[in-house]
Amino acid sequence: MAIPRKSDKADFDAAHAPFAVVEPAVETTHGYRKLAILGGTPAFEETLHVGRPNVGNRKRLQERIDTMLDERWFTNNGPMVREFEQRLVDFLGVKHCITTCNGTTALMLAIRGLDLGGEVIVPSFTFVATAHALQWQETRPVFCDIDPATHNLDPREVERHITPRTTGIIGVHLWGRPCDTGALEEIARRRKLKLLFDASHAFACSHRGRQVGHFGNAEVFSFHATKFVNAFEGGAIATDDDELAQKLRLMRNFGFSGYDTVEHLGMNAKMPEVCAAMGLTCLENIDYFVAVNRRNHFAYRSQLADLPGLRIMKYDERQQCNYQYAIVEIDPCECPLTRDELLKVLHAERVLARRYFHPSCHRMEPYRSYYPMAGLSLPETERLSQRVLALPTGTAVSHRDIELVASVIRSAVRDAGHVKHALRNMGEAPAEAGCLAIPSMPPSC
Ligand code: T4K
């Protein structure tokens, strides 16, 4: 039977949040069901999303919005933005935190503020914004392969891509799991390169006992609606560099240093007050969000533990983690279904699992036209982008939802033969990722 989705209103009220939900779930039902793709009723009446926003304490948010309306100060470095920046500085323990209207503009500002040009080494296995922030400024993203164990830049590969035109490296702490910051910092120091981290996934994470926000020359966060701490839309740059911080503050406000004085090239990258109101509210509820993400993470792990070829990505529990992504890796050599077949099964059940990050940046425009040979040096990226699936998590996803998603996956694996047959009858193309299949390069290559 399909279960109804709870309304947004019931998402979460921090005042009544039962912290009892924080314990990792160990209960497993391991039930099976008749799949929608085989003629059954979809598991969910309403779509279950990846990236459903956390809301936090609604009452507190509404009070903040009322204050903003009463004061009629909506943007341009208002009191809530200043408070949010101070809270971020306190939380991260960094010297400066400059908020922006989104993570992409934060990346663009940081790239320009650090004078990156020529070529910058960056993973292709990331959200396309990381590459766009470079290419937008006519700086070439040089796509570098990743370590299959961490999904982050492989430092040995980084070294191989350095040329006389290289000015910097951008590491992405994918899924909130920090890069090998020590190795990247050592390379950057030795080769005299700037080092920036796209920490869009890694707010409230630590690495070797240090909070993410402290690594490299600067680190960039996203507070997009889908991030576990969100500001509707928003971003921030954290840095301990006074000069860089001052430059970034000018740049995000057209370069203005006073009413009539422009001192620097700039743009409009300011965070509005209503976004800061949401950011502050989420920040106050962060313990709850992490606790729910952690509970969901362990629920998936226990529910999917013994399935062949399916591996739930783990976090380093010795560090501070936000558990914001529930990532499953599907090995087509061991699992009877490919990632894309499983995706179709889940979508038929109204579980909108996502293929983050497929295709990888080098296979998207304009990169596949500009750099058609890039894929040749990215075997791990090519392999991984065929295997990874993001499952729904966050405060809009209950333990019961996860049981149901898991029972869909278990049923699909058990009935793999019938699923493949049904997909063939539906005229679906054969699965993309066979056991040894490395996708072919685009025709232009
Ligand atoms: N670097 C990295 C590594 C990033 O992951 C991102 C953003 C950035 C840089 C850039 O930061 P921002 O400029 O965005 O601040 C989503 C997000 O839009 C994007 O912010 C995020 N990464 C990326 C990983 O995920 P899409 O294309 O998947 O978005 P969309 O609209 O399909 O939404 C995802 C799911 O969330 C949907 O199934 C519906 C659900 N959703 C979404 C929104 C906006 C809701 O339920 N409610 C909502 O309000 O990129």
> Same domain for 71 and 139?
yes
pLDDT of residue 434: 47
- Is residue 219 in a domain? yes
Q: How far is residue 223's CA from residue 274's CA, in Å, rounded to a whole number?
A: 13
Does any ligand 1 atom lie closer than 6 A to the CB of residue 102? yes
Query: Is residue 189 located within the same domain as residue 307?
Result: no
In a domain, residue 434? The reply is no
Q: How far is the CA of 195 from the centre of ligand 1 (A)?
A: 25
C-beta 410 within 6 A of ligand 1 = no
State the CATH number of the domain containing residue 312: 3.90.1150.10
Distance of CA 175 to CAs 182, 217, 259, Å? Answer: 19, 21, 41
Residues 217 and 243 in one domain: yes
Together in a domain, 233 and 84: yes
Q: Is the CB of 219 under 6 A from ligand 1?
A: no
- pLDDT computed for residue 10 by the predictor: 45
Domain final position from 225, 250, 284: 284
Cα 442 to chain centroid distance, Å, stands at: 26
Tell me, yes or no, whether 214 and 70 share the same domain: yes
Q: What letter represents residue 410's amino acid?
A: R
User: What are 225's two structure tokens?
Assistant: 């609606």
Domain total of the chain: 2
394: CA distance to ligand 1 center in Å? 14
Do residues 172 and 250 share a domain? yes
- For ligand 1, atom 12, the nearest C-alpha belongs to 103
Q: Are residues 224 and 78 in the same domain?
A: yes
Substitution candidate for ligand 1 out of 126, 127, 252 with most atoms within 8 A of CB: 127
Cβ pair 168, 147 in contact under 8 A: no
In tens, the pLDDT along 356-369 reads 999 999 999 999 99
Residues 115 and 180 placed together within one structural domain of the fold: yes
| 51 Cα–ligand 1 center, Å | 7
For residue 106, the ligand 1 atom closest to its alpha carbon is 13
| Ligand 1 geometric centre to CA of 95 (Å) | 28
Report the separation in Å between the CA atom of 222 and the middle of ligand 1, taken as the mean of its atom positions: 10
Q: Which residues of the chain have pLDDT under 50?
A: 1-29, 433-434, 436-445
Q: Is position 18 within any domain? A: no
Decide if 334 is inside a domain. yes
Both tokens of 291, joined, read: 């606790």
Q: Crossing angle for the helix pair 58-71 and 79-92, nearest 10 degrees? A: 140
Report if residue 79 sits inside a domain.
Answer: yes
Residue 378 within a domain? no
Domain holding 328, by residue range, is 24-29+36-53+286-353+392-425
Report the pLDDT value the prediction gives residue 429, as an integer from 0 to 100.
58
d(CA 299, CA 287): 18
Any domain includes 365? no
Domain with residue 227: its CATH number is: 3.40.640.10
Residues 46, 67 within the same domain: no
Kindly state whether residue 363 falls inside one of the protein's structural domains.
no
Instruction: Tell whether 189 and 311 lie within a shared domain.
Output: no
Q: Are residues 45 and 114 in the same domain?
A: no
pLDDT score for 32: 81
The type of residue at 226 is T
164 and 234, same domain (yes or no): yes
